[in-house]
Structure 1
């Protein structure tokens, strides 16, 4: 249900059904696993920000146009990864209320 994404540097959920179609236990497992992965995102973002800062420092001292373009491209890609990580960080599934009620009444 989770797959490591090389670009992002984290495992992300790969859901093959609609969230409400998962049993309560499956939802809880996915949520627990996701919270563990989600908790690593701020550290991953800090790591990428450090890389951006290093590349910006190199860019400030770079005189060759081609190298400057390459550094800008790398900085843009790192910023894009950070943006995607923030989107994933904000993704928090909830236990489906219907499943929770069925569990209570079982």
Structure 2
């Protein structure tokens, strides 16, 4: 995808424009917006997958008696929660861009 970069951490493509938006041809702008709308629409599904991982780790943590393993699980849960937060930011902060697609 020409105007997007994949984030291993987030598991999605995100906009990565190499020039100012106004310098991009209007037809290309429309294609970018349509692609972003598809990606943005997949973010809640990505969040749901990560929430399942958190729930599994929390279940594991509830039954874990080894302190060091409990610390590792807590760190993993925290990282997953951070990823979810970042995904929601991408979803919400760029909502106005997606609204342009419909006009």
Note the residue ranges of structure 2 that are not aligned, 5 or more in a row.
Answer: none
Q: TM-score, normalised by structure 2?
A: 0.85
Measure, in 2, the Cα distance between the counterparts of 1:21 and 1:45: 33
1:27 deviation in Å? Answer: 1.3
Measure, in 2, the Cα distance between the counterparts of 1:79 and 1:22: 35
1:13 deviation in Å? Answer: 1.1
After superposition, where does 1:58-69 map in structure 2 within 5 Å?
58-69=60-71
Residue in structure 1 matched with residue 46 of structure 2 by the alignment = 44
Count of aligned positions? 95
Residue in structure 1 matched with residue 20 of structure 2 by the alignment = 18
Residue in structure 2 matched with residue 53 of structure 1 by the alignment = 55
Residue in structure 2 matched with residue 101 of structure 1 by the alignment = none
Measure, in 2, the Cα distance between the counterparts of 1:88 and 1:18: 19
Measure, in 2, the Cα distance between the counterparts of 1:6 and 1:51: 16
